[in-house]
A and B are shown apart, each in its own frame.
Chain A
Amino acid sequence: MKLKVCGMKYNPGEVAALQPDYLGFIFWEKSPRSFDGEIPKLPPGIKKVGVFVNASLDEVVAKIKEYHLQAVQLHGSESPEFCKELKQYNFQEPIQIIKVFSIKDDFNFDELKPYESVCDYYLFDTKGKLPGGNGYTFDWKVLKGYPSIKPYFLSGGIGLEEIESLREFMKRPEAKYCHTIDVNSRFELEPGLKNIQKLKEFKKGLMKDEINMPSSLGERPVRGPYHANEKGYYGEFGGAFIPEMLYPNTEELRQNYVRIMEEPSFKQEFDQLLKDYVGRPTPLYFADRLSEKYGAKIYLKREDLCHTGAHKVNNTIGQILMAKKLGKNRIIAETGAGQHGVATATVCALMGIECVVYMGKIDIARQAPNVARMKMLGAEVRPALSGSRTLKDATNEAIRDWINNPVDTHYIIGSVVGPHPYPDMVARFQSVISEEIKWQLKEKEGRENPDYVVACVGGGSNAAGAYYHYLDNGDVGIIAVEAAGKGIDSGESAATSALGKVGIIHGSKTLLMQTQDGQITEPYSISAGLDYPGVGPMHAHLFRSGRGEFISITDDEAMTAGLEVAKLEGIIPAIETSHAFAIFDHKKFKKDDIVVINLSGRGDKDLDTYIDYFGL
């Protein structure tokens, strides 16, 4: 939940120091809080909102420009046309429009309809003598009839006394789209002079437990059509296609994972470890030379700077804490190239828990350094000898181990694959990536939303994390980059969206590469992290629904792009990530487009492959 403090006049600096999400400045002369001073320099991350009552377009535009406002709140009878004109006005930065509606005992929600496409948020205020600032609340039950999925601000006479009832309200379905709590007159020593002590208390209360989770696990995301439903389906994909032997294991997890992830003590420990052990937040870096070369504003989300060298550890930290909460004392995992195996062995060492990692016999031979790392970290590496003896077979072996050890063992899956609840759980742990992108981009560009988020997809965990908070926001383009290997038609490829058909792999209904007879085939990519024959159900749905744009990149294109990033930006990416950097020949961007590329891992592990390929 976000906080807006409105009616800034005498002490905006002090209020800003409390780090609310929005500060409201009223530009309406009749108000005792009417603002005409100078806004002090605010800490990053705070949006300035101008509040107007039936002002002319020219007046509003002038104030936006003068005060560099990021949002306007329209309190009068402004028409949808007015909102549209303002929305389309050519500002340097896009302006967010908050349209206010006043509620007494009931409200005709049909009034919202004409505004649906022309404003960004609604704000619901108490109907009183004045347009705002009346000092008492309306009956929030009225919002039961809220028909929209547009996020809204809850306003009107909210004070310290309302903390308890707010907490109750937040548990109700109608609070699903409540985005921000807006406060004003109940936190004042006199109109326009805010009571800092009281605001502090309120913020603390608002932050406590369920009511607010500005945690890496994400503030209660608006779980729209691109998130898993209760049964773990993303559209037609997902579910839990597992033999009965696995039912108790996954059922235990399914019943508990959301509850545990929302426990304050869990969040706290997770956040602390991400900060102190993993090294989060990872930087969002403006890639100047790359941007110049390709004519777009390219930002890199530096997951390569995480401990162990990739985003994988976000998930293993979360899952080891989950395993502890569930009372498990043994961990199993699968690994292909060894990155997830290392991330799992790392957190097991951290927690002093027994760890067994399954790895295809062929992969053990070709990824010797990672095998050694896992052993140094105290894990046992067991070769998968069945089938094709690579990642999919290592996954089968881990599942078989879990069948044989149902009580004491937790299986840490490394991607957004497997039976429900794994895809959703792993996506939530990785969602810290987009959570950070949002506020980091706000700091740098004054907006949370890039025009595009780009990520490579094997199973899809780094992509799921980078997309997570943007999934339901149609303004943000989602680009998924798959490995075409030696070419989509070469027979040696891992481009699941292009080559896969609907089927079942590792307990999930998704797109997978298979023979006509339903036998799962062996994919190929130069990057070991992308050669999984399936793709997470979230991504299958993004592909099928058209929400995501899928691009296939060959080995050669990826290697060339990896070398270019090294030379232009001084960063050697993992070969998985290099695929994401190769999209510029396939996708053209506008000069002003903000493109965030998730730099999922660093290339140290791939040096041998780079050396061989380029003859370095």
Chain B
Amino acid sequence: MNRINKKLQEDGKLLSIYFTAGYPNLDDTVKIIGELEKHGVDMIEIGLPFSDPLADGPTIQESSTAALKNGMTTEILFEQLKDIRKTISIPLIIMGYFNPVLQYGVEAFCKKCMEIGIDGLILPDLPFDVYQEEYESIFKKYGLLNTFLITPQTSDERIFQIDGASEGFIYMVSSASTTGAKQGFGAEQQDYFKRIASLHLKNPQIVGFGISNSETFVQATEKAKGAIIGSAFIKHLTQNGVDSIANFIKSIRC
């Protein structure tokens, strides 16, 4: 069974962390992953930086630009990760935009992911229908789970469609926004969380966007299986460096 599915069966709420590979320094990738696992994070999204990340707010944009300036490439990331499974056992997901994957070659990319021990991909700008028509068979061949996003604007009909095509979890975008744009959840988000819970989907949901501290983590996971923190973690790295990751995780899971 895929590590993601196993993890989702565990009791308790899951904390997933996103970071941009190659930031703050080109060679921080393995160290960041190690620290995150060591301090109890359940799942990691490794961000493959892209020059034009149009679903991301300023924090992730800046970390992506810096990572690319540091020299990060798909090839280098794979090289950095080649021995990652010797030390790391939690699920690892690569999250990025579709164009770098397309240039690497979708099949070559998936094959490499399997060899390394990557469990899944999140490619927000690879649309659901194109995935199903052109790429699903390749992802499956290499044992990769693909995760789709839903938002407060996604219709129930489309949510059921996405649920039907998913085999891991659903990435539930908390509000109509780019990453890192909102702070705290209002009544609107609470209603949305309740609405999704009432649909009784077959895949568990993990909430992303707008989670920055223990309060928002608790709110987001009241109904959902877990939550993803990205921008707030990157801000912490910028301000405090790679050595203080423990403090950040503790502040969430207090």
Contact = CB atoms under 8 A, between A and B. Distances in A.
Most central of B58, B62, B104, B125 by chain A CB within 10 Å: B125
Interface stretch (B31-39, B147-155, B240-248): B147-155
B147 to A, nearest CB: 11
Given A243-B124, A400-B178, A404-B177, A514 B99 contact: yes
Interface in B21-70: 50-58, 61-62, 65, 68
Interface residues of A, number: 36
A396 to B, nearest CB: 5
Contacts of A241: 98, 125-127, 130
Contacts of A396: 52-54
Contacts of A519: 50-51, 68, 100
A517 interface: yes
B100 A244 contact: no
Interface stretch (A109-117, A357-365, A425-433, A500-508): A500-508
B10 interface: no
A518 B58 contact: no
Interface in B125-177: 125-128, 130, 148-151, 153-155, 158, 173, 176-177
User: Which interface class (under 10, 10 to 19, 20 to 34, 35 or more) fits B?
Assistant: 35 or more
B103 interface: yes
Contacts of A505: 52, 99
Contact of B103 (A245, A407, A514): A514
Interface string A464-494: 0000000000000000000000000000000
Contacts of B150: 244
Contacts of A248: 151, 153-155
B178 A239 contact: no
A247 B52 CA distance: 18
A393 B126 CA distance: 20
A559 B208 CA distance: 51
Contacts of A514: 99, 103
Interface in A331-382: none
B102 interface: yes
Contact of B73 (A247, A405, A506, A517): A517
A239 B150 CA distance: 20
A527 B50 CA distance: 27
A391 B224 CA distance: 39
A64 interface: no
Contacts of A392: 52
B125 A507 contact: yes
A255 interface: no
B154 A247 contact: yes
B103 A503 contact: yes
A29 B173 CA distance: 78
Contact of A517 (B55, B56, B103): B103
A403 B177 contact: yes
A406 interface: yes
A405 B74 CA distance: 33
B142 to A, nearest CB: 19
Interface in B61-110: 61-62, 65, 68, 73-75, 97-104
Contacts of A243: 54-55, 124-125, 149
B181 interface: yes
Contacts of B158: 247
A387 B49 CA distance: 12
A92 to B, nearest CB: 53
> Which of A506, A507, A514 has the most B CB atoms < 10 Å from its CB?
A514
A517 B72 CA distance: 10
A4 B29 CA distance: 73
A386 B98 contact: no
A233 to B, nearest CB: 11
A516 to B, nearest CB: 7
B106 to A, nearest CB: 12
A16 interface: no
Contacts of B50: 518-519
A232 to B, nearest CB: 11
A406 B103 contact: no
B58 A386 contact: yes
A518 B58 CA distance: 21
Nearest to A520: B51
A17 B219 CA distance: 74
A385 B68 CA distance: 17
Contacts of B62: 386
A298 interface: no
A399 interface: yes
Contacts of B51: 387, 519-521
B26 to A, nearest CB: 14
Contacts of A399: 54
A441 to B, nearest CB: 41
A155 to B, nearest CB: 44
A501 B103 contact: yes
A244 B173 contact: yes
Interface string A237-266: 001111111011000000000000000000
Contacts of A521: 51
A392 B53 CA distance: 11
Contact of A516 (B57, B103, B155): B103
Contacts of A393: 52
A504 B125 contact: yes
Given A404-B181, A517-B73, A245 B55 contact: yes
Nearest to A403: B178
A57 to B, nearest CB: 55
B98 A504 contact: yes
Interface in A445-477: none
A36 to B, nearest CB: 64
Contact of A518 (B53, B102, B148, B178): B102
Contact of B178 (A242, A387, A404): A404
Given A242-B125, A244-B173, A504-B99, A406 B153 contact: yes
Q: Which 8 interchain pairs have the tightest Cβ spacing?
A: A518-B103, A518-B100, A243-B124, A244-B149, A248-B153, A519-B51, A243-B55, A504-B99
Interface of A: 239-245, 247-248, 385-387, 392-393, 396, 399-400, 403-407, 501-507, 514, 516-521
14 contacts: A241-B126, A242-B125, A242-B127, A244-B128, A244-B154, A248-B153, A396-B54, A403-B177, A404-B178, A517-B100, A517-B103, A519-B51, A520-B51, A521-B51
Interface of B: 50-58, 61-62, 65, 68, 73-75, 97-104, 124-128, 130, 148-151, 153-155, 158, 173, 176-178, 181
